[in-house]
Chain A
Amino acid sequence: MNDATPAFDIQAIRAQFPILSEKIRGKDLVFLDSAASAQKPRAVIDAMVHALEHQYANIHRGLHWMSERTTEAYELTRDAAARLLNARDRSEIVFVRNTTEAINLLAHSYGRGILTPGQAVVISAMEHHANIVPWQMLRDSHGIELRIAPITDAGELDMAAFEALLSDFRVGLVAITHMSNVLGSYTPAERITAIAHAYGAKVMLDGSQSVVHRRIDVQALDADFFVFTGHKLYGPTGIGVLWGRRELLDAMPPFLGGGDMISSVSYERSTWADTPHKFEAGTPAIIEGIGLHAAIEFVESIGYSAIAAHEAALTEHALAKMSAIEGVTVIGRAQDRGGVVSFTLDRAHAHDVATLLDRQGIAVRAGQHCAEPLMRRLGLDSTARASFGIYTTRDEIDGLADTLTRIREFFA
């Protein structure tokens, strides 16, 4: 295989993912749906099984050995997540179930607790539904205006229009994707935060896709909030992270009420635990949290420079191969883009394409990708989407391209 990137042994990496040796109807699994959820390396699986077999009890409350050890293991994930994002302090890491919950937490606690009616939230025209619907709910319940920053036909944020949306100084928060799950476009986070801050707005970056592909430094980005989910980062489902500046988190009211998030409770009143625990009501996803630690260490062991180089090479190769196929249209032409390639085929609907690819063992996503307004902006009903992970090879992309050519012949 021609996957030689310095210090990046693709076969050694693939060998760490047990599922990649599965056969689909007798054919090798070609998993090109990592943007929906990534596969899990042995280290993550082992860490979770180990915890279940040897080190499990409820956390933050037991006075016994098992609880203390489990608490320690779970809390180490907070350190790992802080390191991953270059947070100033581990207390800025709030554990949530997933990105969707992180954004709902923000819309609830920051939106209802800090923003005031008459202020506005800005999102972009290429958001996942998870970064649209919570803000609509806030708009409708709390009198917050929702503004949509347009994108160009290439699939990039229209920066002039974005700045114009902020010019009346009424925007309290910009909540925007850091990398589109449909177009693969990165948004220029440093420019976004600089502009937003100049107009008095805070910035939340949805890093669901970006954290998988690119080193994140929330201090260098000058972000205020950054959210991501574990399962796209080779970790388990059910665990995600909301990072926020400590002073912002401190000022926010809690989200869910219950155990673990209180300092004291009486029938008259309760007081809240400190950040981050005041946002973490109830028994969390303990095993999944421990699994996320293993996922972060797995990514760090390979290193973001190697990951980024591998995926940049794959993406460039994919764009060249796909563009060369008659009848294939790649959607989105952003200059700065990652390993997500949406496309249409002239002779077949995306679902039919996905079904026929599946019969060859090739897993892609087809549909609206939880981004219906973006699809309308693009004038499309659906696309097929191939998305790449740390384990994706050039051969797999060549196989995708060859099969697309054959699908086009099938529907001739």
Chain B
Amino acid sequence: MFEDVRDLYNAAILERGRRPRHMNKLAAFDATAKGDNPMCGDRVQVWLKYAPDGSIAETGFDARGCEISKASADLMVEAVWGQAPADTRAMFERFRQMAQSGECPSCAAFAPLKPLAAVHAYPSRVKCATLPWHALLAALEGANNATSES
């Protein structure tokens, strides 16, 4: 009955959404921020620990929401390990483009996030995929809260 949603609800998304690997709070962290989508009730919190060179050394998250937001958060925290904050911001821009268009420009290092590309065909769900990123960027900025409507 649901073969036509397998593009979005693919094996990687279902696995990450149902059994996230990194859904845990860091015991020691340098930054944290919450993301909140008040229209739909999704909530996510991201924790960061920086390496001495300023790159992201450790990440963790907690999420209450749909499969898409949890899978996105789980894939995201893994994808940004070892990255400088500027690279993470650039990655989010590319991720947002992919989520909105389905296309992934210049994304050699982007393969782990590609399972979410099909979300572009579900416009009302794009914000589910981007919410964890808004929280992550808020943490990088030293802010405490973010919302996602796009």
Contact = CB atoms under 8 A, between A and B. Distances in A.
Contacts of A368: 38-41
Nearest to A376: B41
B128 interface: yes
Contacts of A403: 1
Contact of B125 (A355, A406, A411): A355
B122 A367 contact: no
B64 A355 contact: no
Contact of B2 (A366, A375, A382, A406): A406
A366 B40 contact: yes
B53 to A, nearest CB: 38
Contacts of B68: 351-352
A343 to B, nearest CB: 15
B62 interface: no
Interface string A375-386: 100001110000
Contact of A372 (B8, B9, B18, B38): B38
A366 B41 CA distance: 9
Given A355-B5, A356-B2, A367 B66 contact: no
Contact of A410 (B2, B42, B65, B66): B2
B41 A359 contact: no
Given A348-B67, A351-B128, A381 B4 contact: no
A375 B41 contact: yes
B43 interface: yes
Contacts of B5: 355-356, 359
Contacts of B38: 368, 372
Interface string A212-234: 00000000000000000000000
A344 to B, nearest CB: 12
B43 A381 contact: yes
Contact of B66 (A25, A349, A360, A406): A349
A375 to B, nearest CB: 7
A375 B39 CA distance: 12
A349 B67 contact: yes
Interface string A307-343: 0000000000000000000000000000000000000
Nearest to B70: A349
Interface string A15-58: 00000000001000000000000000000000000000000000
A269 to B, nearest CB: 43
A381 B65 contact: yes
Contact of A406 (B1, B4, B8): B1
Chain A interface: which size bin?
A: 20 to 34
Given A367-B40, A368-B40, A368-B41, A359 B67 contact: no
B2 A381 contact: no
Interface in A353-410: 355-356, 359-360, 366-368, 372, 375, 380-382, 403, 406-407, 410
Contact of A349 (B14, B39, B65, B124): B65
Given A349-B67, A351-B68, A356-B2, A382 B40 contact: yes
A25 B122 CA distance: 13
A359 B38 CA distance: 24
A355 B40 CA distance: 13
Contacts of B128: 351
Contacts of B2: 356, 359, 406-407, 410
Interface string B105-146: 000000000000000001011001000000000000000000
A25 B41 CA distance: 28
Nearest to A369: B41
Interface string B1-42: 110110011000010001000000000000000000011111
A407 B67 CA distance: 13
B42 A355 contact: no
A372 B40 CA distance: 9
A166 B108 CA distance: 66
A162 B64 CA distance: 33
Q: Tell which of A348, A355, A375, A380 has the most Cβ of chain B within 10 Å.
A: A355
Contacts of B67: 348-349, 352
A411 B9 CA distance: 10
Interface in B26-82: 38-43, 64-68
A359 B40 contact: no
Contacts of A380: 41
B31 to A, nearest CB: 25
A382 B41 contact: yes
Given A367-B40, A368-B41, A381-B64, A351 B1 contact: no
Nearest to A25: B4
The 5 closest A-B pairs by CB, nearest first: A349-B66, A382-B41, A351-B66, A367-B40, A381-B41
Interface of A: 25, 348-352, 355-356, 359-360, 366-368, 372, 375, 380-382, 403, 406-407, 410-411
7 contacts: A351-B40, A355-B5, A356-B5, A367-B39, A367-B41, A380-B41, A406-B1
Given A352-B66, A356-B5, 10 more contacts: A349-B66, A351-B40, A351-B42, A351-B68, A355-B8, A368-B41, A381-B64, A382-B41, A406-B1, A411-B18
